[in-house]
């Protein structure tokens, strides 16, 4: 039987999406439902003096209005930070309370204050105009660099500082810098982004008055985790009376990891008003209240020899947490950022120091790549600057500092199990026709255009897992994954996974894996996810962990099925279990032609006995049925790596940057389905190009988000991008039986420095901050003309 792992299998989920049969949360309607509309703060920072809902309560169609006072009276808990990070001085991080509805203070535009339930959405929205709130408006703190010297936003949190974290050895770095021929210095901002899954957040709540169970349909990347937080911290209902279902989810990119105010409020309220509730975010609500990403200001330094050897690295960063610390908010700019900031290089000494601060902006949390794009941008921009200042080719300077052996003990935390950075870079160089750049540049110049080329080599730590490690680093839960495999009596297989697909294609890739392990046709395998009443438990999907953690749990559960199958087959075939081999769906007694298919064995497990033609005695002590489960907790992260090369052409008259060529060579270990991996890389690159060239979430000094619609926040569209040229190398991961590494975030990690290095190359090394908009580039082009005319 040909292996499905590695094959370009078309997706099993496509038909329903392509025919309009997908079932997203907003598609769900429950008889007698009410519609929720949230009254939100129009101010970035204010004290709430008084809330008057009396008029609104009398408005047409209004069923009830609830406020922060009701939340407090019912002792409903708030939203939480999932990771406890300690400061360099050993002190605990400082987190403000984040109640589901603000009672006394609001801290960003969009902070919810009250919720109206009405018979129709129009009536709920109309009634919101009648809710009167008296505010004492305070000065908004929005400038990241000045935050620590500004007024205190949250009582008791001095300097607005959550923590001042250090990873690495300052003394060693100092010594390394003293030995350097040259110190390369760089000041960069990592622009704030809005993840912008195309499906706006939503929830539909159904409270069953008979069973007292709350069902929450929601747009989540991790329904079990949402249930856990809503139950353990929110106190909405005990876990066995709370069912969270994330049906089809239209993209997440990190923004749907968090449990949000609306899900807690509507779940709690549904029981209170004894009516189902539907809430669907408007796009501007999503812009205002979805967690945002990135938003760092960094000063970094690299100590080098004249030959281009790296001696040491410093990283001083201020990271914006926004108004509140959320689930991955505190770990994203620390352990997901700091360790990767030394890149793919042998770096004798390094440290990363991060000050995470609160501002009057939307909470900042994980967004595709989470910390690793910021890390890669820092080191890869710095290495390019070193290449310019030392007059060394950017590819050569990178090669001089690659590790030559694996496992590679990376400077700050990670033991990288496998990789070959030379192979990837060489392949990218060939595929991009790096050597032909000079002639393409000449051609561009003939047409009055500037052309630049940019290189990035990256590695990242993903497949976020090893529970003992993440818990030691401050994580509040273990990041394993679960799977359950049920072999039905008539031969089909249902696999329950704790991972969640919101575009990742698990229904296909996980079925490929299970079909291979069990030797059954892929058509006979169904993948079930996203419902806390079905799967055992799950930590969900983020950090490129679905395959490397969730997929391996499926492999392990399948292996248990085969083990039991061997024992049962042995009894049926009158052989000893050690003599039974399993291959291509058949249990075969060694050196004989006696065999049973896995379907026959499964059937026997459900019909344990001997009667007439049925001869399926189970071995003594063996339970009937064929169902196994597994929890997988890998020994380490997975470490994908790669080299990306981009070419841009700039029109100096307009500042317009055209991304002309993009080559990506990635090492994801074993590839289960090339079509899907290519799709993941395309999407990641597109988001990374967006960060580099167009996207920017911008708050004004009063804390208003001035990029809160698709008219103002410019994500790449079809006509902004070229086709990407993809290649792969393969060094297998040693920490899981399939040898797989995560692939979902690579593009978003590598693309920003790749594109920016190309833009800066075209601008003769002039520094420019992301996004490289036409205005900024046009100004830089004017500087270029000035300096050229001076030189002449």
Partner 1 sequence: MKKITVEVNGKKIQKEIEDNTILSTFLRDHLNLTGTHVGCDTSQCGACVVHVDGKSLKSCTAFAIDLDGSKITTIEGLVTNGKMHPMQEAFKKMHGLQCGFCTPGMVMSAINLLQNNKNPSEQEIRDWLEGNICRCTGYQNIVAAVKEAATKM
Where on the chain is the footprint of partner 1 (CB under 8 A)? Answer: 10-11, 13-24, 26-27, 29, 196-200, 248-251, 253, 282-284, 502-505, 675-676, 678-679, 682-687, 709-711, 715-719, 721, 723-724, 747
Please say which residue, 466 or 742, places its beta carbon nearer to partner 1. Answer: 742
- Say how many residues make up the chain: 792
DSSP-derived 3-state class of residue 189: strand
CB of 558 to partner 1, least distance (A): 26
Please say which residue, 601 or 657, places its beta carbon nearer to partner 1. Answer: 657
Tokens at 508, concatenated: 């296909």
Q: Which one, of 330, 316, 295, 376, lies nearest residue 163 by Cα? A: 330
Q: Which one, of 50, 67, 79, lies nearest residue 115 by Cα? A: 67
Please say which residue, 15 or 49, places its beta carbon nearer to partner 1. Answer: 15
Beta-carbon neighbour count of residue 166 at 10 Å? 17
Please say which residue, 129 or 701, places its beta carbon nearer to partner 1. Answer: 129
CB of 358 to partner 1, least distance (A): 28
CB of 458 to partner 1, least distance (A): 18
Please say which residue, 255 or 643, places its beta carbon nearer to partner 1. Answer: 255
Please say which residue, 392 or 431, places its beta carbon nearer to partner 1. Answer: 431
Q: Which one, of 416, 740, 745, 746, lies nearest residue 552 by Cα? A: 740
Q: Which one, of 495, 471, 70, lies nearest residue 269 by Cα? A: 70
Please say which residue, 582 or 662, places its beta carbon nearer to partner 1. Answer: 662
Please say which residue, 121 or 413, places its beta carbon nearer to partner 1. Answer: 121
CB of 251 to partner 1, least distance (A): 4
DSSP-derived 3-state class of residue 210: coil
Please say which residue, 165 or 458, places its beta carbon nearer to partner 1. Answer: 458
CB of 315 to partner 1, least distance (A): 30
Q: Which residues contact 717 (CB under 8 A, 6 or more apart)?
A: none
CB of 282 to partner 1, least distance (A): 5
Please say which residue, 82 or 640, places its beta carbon nearer to partner 1. Answer: 640
Please say which residue, 619 or 679, places its beta carbon nearer to partner 1. Answer: 679
Q: Which residues contact 127 (CB under 8 A, 6 or more apart)?
A: 37, 56, 57, 59, 60, 61, 62, 65, 116, 118
Place of tokens 């006696």: 594
Helices (H), 335-466: 372-390, 394-399, 421-431, 437-446
Please say which residue, 31 or 711, places its beta carbon nearer to partner 1. Answer: 711
Tokens at 529, concatenated: 């996810």
CB of 89 to partner 1, least distance (A): 41
CB of 662 to partner 1, least distance (A): 10
Phi-psi map region of 269: left, alpha, beta (phi>0 left; psi -120 to 50 alpha) = alpha
Q: Which one, of 395, 117, 127, 385, lies nearest residue 262 by Cα? A: 117
CB of 148 to partner 1, least distance (A): 34
Q: What are phi and psi of 2, to 5 degrees?
A: -70, 145
CB of 775 to partner 1, least distance (A): 21
CB of 25 to partner 1, least distance (A): 11
DSSP-derived 3-state class of residue 535: coil
CB of 308 to partner 1, least distance (A): 34
Q: Which one, of 74, 50, 53, 75, lies nearest residue 62 by Cα? A: 53
DSSP string, 629-646: EEEE--SS-B--EEEEEE
DSSP string, 60-107: TTEEEEEEHHHHHHTT------SB--B-TTSPBP------SS-SSEE-
Q: Is the dihedral of CA 364, 641, 399, 431 positive or negative?
A: negative
DSSP string, 570-596: HHHTTS-GGGEEEETTEEEETTSS-EE
CB of 370 to partner 1, least distance (A): 16
CB of 678 to partner 1, least distance (A): 7
Please say which residue, 111 or 695, places its beta carbon nearer to partner 1. Answer: 695
> Going along 479-612, which residue ranges are E strands?
481-487, 493-497, 525-528, 580-583, 586-589, 595-597, 609-611
Distances (CA, A) of 467 to 248, 372, 480, 635: 28, 20, 6, 9
Please say which residue, 13 or 389, places its beta carbon nearer to partner 1. Answer: 13
CB of 10 to partner 1, least distance (A): 6
**What is the distance between the alpha carbons of residues 541 and 544, in angstroms, rounded to a whole number?**
7
Please say which residue, 25 or 401, places its beta carbon nearer to partner 1. Answer: 25
Q: Return the DSSP state at 200.
A: P
Q: Which residues contact 401 (CB under 8 A, 6 or more apart)?
A: 308, 309, 310, 345, 346, 347
């Amino acid at each position: 039987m040909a292996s499905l792992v590695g094959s370009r299998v078309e997706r099993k989920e496509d038909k329903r999406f392509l025919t309009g049969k997908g079932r997203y949360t907003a598609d769900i309607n429950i008889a007698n439902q009410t519609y929720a509309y949230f009254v939100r703060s129009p101010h970035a920072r204010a004290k709430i003096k008084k809330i008057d809902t009396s008029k609104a309560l009398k408005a047409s169609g209004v069923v009830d209005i609830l406020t922060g006072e009701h939340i407090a009276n019912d002792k409903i808990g708030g939203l939480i930070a999932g990771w406890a990070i300690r400061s360099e001085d050993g002190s605990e991080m400082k987190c403000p309370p984040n109640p589901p509805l603000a009672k006394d203070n609001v801290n960003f535009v969009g902070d919810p204050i009250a919720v109206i339930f009405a018979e129709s959405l129009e009536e709920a929205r109309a009634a919101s105009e009648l809710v009167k709130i008296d505010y004492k408006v305070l000065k908004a703190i929005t400038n990241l660099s000045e935050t620590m010297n500004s007024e205190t936003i949250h009582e008791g949190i001095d300097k607005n500082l959550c923590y001042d974290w250090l990873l690495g050895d300052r003394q060693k770095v100092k010594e390394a810098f003293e030995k350097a021929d040259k110190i390369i210095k760089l000041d960069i901002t990592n622009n704030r982004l809005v993840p912008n899954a195309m499906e706006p957040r939503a929830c539909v709540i159904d409270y069953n008055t008979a069973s007292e169970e709350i069902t929450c349909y929601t747009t989540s990347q991790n329904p079990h985790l949402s249930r856990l937080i809503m139950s353990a911290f929110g106190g909405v209902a005990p876990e066995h009376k709370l069912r969270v279902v994330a049906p089809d989810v239209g993209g997440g990119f990190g923004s749907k990891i968090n449990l949000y105010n609306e899900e807690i409020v509507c779940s709690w309220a549904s029981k209170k008003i004894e009516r189902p509730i539907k809430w669907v975010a408007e796009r501007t609500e999503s812009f205002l209240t979805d967690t945002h990403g990135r938003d760092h200001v960094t000063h970094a330094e690299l100590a080098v020899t004249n030959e281009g050897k790296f001696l040491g690295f410093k990283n001083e960063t201020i990271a914006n947490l926004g108004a509140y610390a959320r689930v991955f908010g505190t770990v994203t700019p620390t352990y997901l950022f700091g360790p990767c900031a030394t890149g793919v290089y042998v770096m004798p000494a390094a440290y990363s120091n991060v000050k995470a601060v609160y501002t009057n902006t939307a909470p900042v949390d994980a967004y595709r790549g989470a910390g690793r794009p910021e890390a890669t941008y820092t080191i890869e921009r710095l290495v390019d600057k070193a290449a310019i200042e030392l007059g060394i080719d950017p590819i050569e300077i990178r090669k001089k500092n690659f590790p030559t052996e694996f496992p590679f003990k990376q400077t700050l935390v990670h033991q990288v199990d496998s990789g070959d950075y030379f192979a990837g870079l060489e392949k990218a160089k060939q595929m991009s026709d790096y050597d032909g750049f000079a002639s393409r540049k000449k051609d561009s110049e003939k047409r009055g255009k500037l052309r630049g080329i940019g290189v990035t080599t990256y590695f990242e730590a993903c497949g976020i897992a090893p529970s003992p490690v993440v818990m030691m680093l401050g994580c509040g839960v273990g990041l394993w994954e679960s799977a359950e495999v049920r072999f039905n009596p008539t031969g089909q297989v249902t696999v329950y996974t704790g991972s969640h697909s919101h575009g990742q294609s698990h229904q296909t890739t996980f079925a490929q894996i299970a079909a291979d392990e069990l030797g059954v046709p892929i058509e006979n395998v169904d993948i079930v996810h996203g419902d806390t009443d079905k799967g055992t438990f799950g930590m969900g999907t983020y950090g490129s962990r679905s395959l490397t953690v969730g997929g391996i749990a499926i492999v392990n559960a399948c292996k248990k099925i085969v083990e039991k199958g061997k024992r049962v087959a042995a009894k049926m075939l009158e052989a000893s279990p050690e003599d039974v081999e399993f291959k291509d769906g058949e249990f075969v007694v060694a050196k004989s032609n006696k065999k049973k298919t896995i379907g026959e064995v499964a059937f026997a497990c459900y019909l344990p006995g001997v009667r007439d033609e049925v001869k399926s005695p189970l071995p003594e002590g063996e339970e009937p049925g064929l169902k196994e489960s597994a929890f997988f907790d890998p020994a380490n992260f997975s470490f994908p790596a790669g080299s990306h090369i981009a070419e841009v052409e700039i029109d100096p008259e307009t500042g317009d940057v055209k991304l002309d060529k993009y080559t990506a060579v990635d090492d994801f270990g074993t590839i289960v389905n090339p079509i899907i991996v290519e799709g993941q890389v395309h999407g990641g690159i597109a988001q990374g190009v967006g960060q580099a060239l167009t996207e920017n979430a911008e708050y004004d000094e009063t804390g208003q988000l001035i990029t809160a619609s698709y008219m103002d926040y410019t994500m790449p569209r079809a006509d902004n991008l070229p086709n990407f040229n993809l290649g792969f190398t393969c060094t297998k991961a040693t920490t899981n039986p399939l040898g797989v590494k995560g692939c979902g975030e690579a593009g978003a990690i590598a693309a920003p420095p790749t594109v920016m290095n190309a833009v800066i190359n075209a601008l003769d090394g002039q520094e420019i901050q992301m996004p490289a908009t036409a205005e900024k580039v046009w100004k830089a082009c004017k500087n270029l003309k000035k300096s050229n005319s001076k030189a002449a």
